[in-house]
Amino acid sequence: MNSLYLNKVFKSFGKTKVLNNINLELNENELLVILGPSGCGKSTLLRLVAGLEDLTSGEIYLHDKRIDKLEPKDRNVAMVFQNYSLYPHMTVEKNLGFPLKIAKVKKEVIKEKVEAIAEMLGLTDRLLFKPSALSGGQRQRVALGRAIIRKPDIFLLDEPLSNLDADLRLKMRAEIVRIQQELEITTIHVTHDQAEALSMADRILLLNDGEIEQLGTPEELYKNPNSLFVAKFIGFPKMNIIEATIKNNQLMPFGIPFESKQIDGVDELLVGIRPEDISMISNGQYRAKVVSSEYYGEQYIITIVYNNIVLQVSGCQHSKNIGDTVMFSISESTLHFFNKQTGSRIG
Ligand code: ADP
Ligand code: MG
């Protein structure tokens, strides 16, 4: 059984088309990450599922029940926003228990559930504190706890980590995955951060200007981006994209043998090379000049120029001096090809 199902969902605000034919099926207990640049429609998609916006057309089903005409409170959906708004005058205990109190759950049961969720989120010793006495991460956990305490059918998280500092953001990524697995709740997590998406998702849905650009596992999007947009959006440093031509069955400017029938009908070709797929080795095939060397602790990222083409190389263990000559190799099997006109993947 699928858990959430979106069928031909369109959304416009006045004349502005924001979501264009979104079709999506979530598996039971899946963690789907919706990824995309600012303004591409991520929040709107979540708000449609939560019932905070009306569809322009299409259907939304949750566990085979049509929900798109239901009031938000009748959908059994929980949503956490970026600026998680806790009740400042209530203790953590009261904040966590609030949704149950509203639902007129018995006091003893509320107490039990609050204690269980506090335990799970590491908030037990904070139950009697007000939000102002908590760290950013603790507040975020209270907001998560408050959202899941009623065991929703689906958990919607709209950039919940973007207000946290870098350290905490990394910790909370793992924390959300852990909570989601422990509670077995189908979850949609929204972010514009590709690293966050790669590290958390069962599957990633990459949105581009209101349309699904690609839907797949993190590995699929990373290894087989089906368009130039996906290739450029996923991965750090970004994939090197180079204009290429085929001359005498060779891929230029690298001189790699290439069957031109692979690209029949494509006039202009772009080649993508991941920065980690370039090896700087002394017996490399190609000669380049170093233009910069950046230190990242575990690696250097070195920028080189070959034939007027700028390439970034990652995973380097040693620094290079600007102006140094280096040799490098690329392996044909790691190259990605795109149609320059349409941006779609070739092969
Ligand atoms: P994201 O969350 O990916 O940054 P949003 O879903 O918030 O994107 O917004 C997508 C587009 O829809 C934007 O161009 C935004 O300006 C527009 N939009 C969102 N909400 C409204 C609204 N209530 N009225 C008009 N336009 C809106
Ligand atoms: Mg948003």
- 87 located within any domain: yes
Q: What is the pLDDT of residues 12-29, one digit of tens each?
A: 999 999 999 999 999 999
Q: Residue 265 has what pLDDT?
A: 67
Q: Residue 196 has what pLDDT?
A: 97
**CB half-sphere exposure, 266, CA atoms < 13 A:** 25
Task: Clarify whether residues 185 and 254 are in a common domain.
Answer: no
Residue 259 alpha carbon to ligand 1 centre in Å: 45
329 has a pLDDT exceeding 90: yes
Q: Residue 121 has what pLDDT?
A: 86
Task: Clarify whether residues 262 and 320 are in a common domain.
Answer: yes
**Number of domains forming the structure of the chain:** 2
Query: How far, in Å, CA of 98 to CA of 121, rounded?
Result: 17
Q: Which of 193, 226, 259 delimits the end of a domain?
A: 226
- 231 located within any domain: no
Beta bridge partners of 251: 246, 256
Query: How far, in Å, CA of 91 to CA of 271, rounded?
Result: 56
The b-or-e profile of 289-303 (16+ CB within 10 A means b, else e) is ebeebeeeeeebbbb
Task: Clarify whether residues 246 and 196 are in a common domain.
Answer: no
Q: Cβ(44) to ligand 1 under 6 A?
A: yes
Per the structure, the complete domain to which residue 205 belongs is given by: 2-226
Task: Clarify whether residues 180 and 317 are in a common domain.
Answer: no
Task: Clarify whether residues 222 and 246 are in a common domain.
Answer: no
Task: Clarify whether residues 148 and 282 are in a common domain.
Answer: no
Task: Clarify whether residues 248 and 100 are in a common domain.
Answer: no
Residues ≥6 apart with Cβ < 8 Å to 118: 92, 93, 96, 124, 126, 127, 145
Q: Which of 196, 226, 256 delimits the end of a domain?
A: 226
Q: What is the pLDDT of residues 222-249, one digit of tens each?
A: 999 999 999 999 999 999 999 998 888 8
208 has a pLDDT exceeding 90: yes
Q: Which of 226, 248, 278 delimits the end of a domain?
A: 226
Of 110-114, 127-131, 250-254, 298-302, the range with the lowest mean pLDDT is: 250-254
Q: Cβ(296) to ligand 1 under 6 A?
A: no
121 against 39, higher pLDDT = 39
| Ligand 1 atom nearest 38 alpha carbon | 4
pTM for this one? 0.92
Q: What is the mean pLDDT of residues 144-151?
A: 88
Residue 95 alpha carbon to ligand 1 centre in Å: 29
252 has a pLDDT exceeding 70: yes
Residue 331 alpha carbon to ligand 2 centre in Å: 39
- 235 located within any domain: no
CATH of the domain at 124: 3.40.50.300
Crossing angle between the packed helical segments 92-102 and 136-148, to the nearest 10 degrees: 20
Q: What is the mean pLDDT of residues 113-124?
A: 92
- 170 located within any domain: yes
Q: What is the mean pLDDT of residues 1-6?
A: 84
Q: Which residue has the tokens 């320059």?
A: 340
Nearest CA to ligand 1 atom 15: 39
Task: Clarify whether residues 147 and 17 are in a common domain.
Answer: yes
- 232 located within any domain: no
Q: Residue 336 has what pLDDT?
A: 95
Task: Clarify whether residues 166 and 268 are in a common domain.
Answer: no
Task: Clarify whether residues 281 and 216 are in a common domain.
Answer: no
Of 108-122, 184-198, 258-272, the range with the lowest mean pLDDT is: 258-272
- 233 located within any domain: no
Q: What is the mean pLDDT of residues 114-118?
A: 93
Sheet of strand 256-257, all strands in order from the earlier edge strand to the far edge: 256-257, 250-252, 240-247, 269-273, 336-339, 345-346
Q: What is the pLDDT of residues 80-93, one digit of tens each?
A: 887 768 999 999 99
* Best of 9, 13, 35 for a ligand 1 pocket test (most atoms within 8 Å of beta carbon): 13
| Ligand 1 atom nearest 47 alpha carbon | 6
* Structure tokens belonging to residue 51: 């019932």
- 214 located within any domain: yes
Q: What is the pLDDT of residues 262-295, one digit of tens each?
A: 676 676 899 999 999 999 999 999 999 999 999 9
Q: Residue 327 has what pLDDT?
A: 97
1 has a pLDDT exceeding 70: no
Q: What is the mean pLDDT of residues 177-181?
A: 91
Nearest CA to ligand 1 atom 27: 13
Q: Residue 260 has what pLDDT?
A: 67
Of 22-26, 33-37, 247-251, 303-307, the range with the lowest mean pLDDT is: 247-251
CATH of the domain at 316: 2.40.50.140
Task: Clarify whether residues 221 and 261 are in a common domain.
Answer: no
Phi, psi values for residue 334, rounded to 5°: -95, 0
Task: Clarify whether residues 210 and 248 are in a common domain.
Answer: no
- 234 located within any domain: no
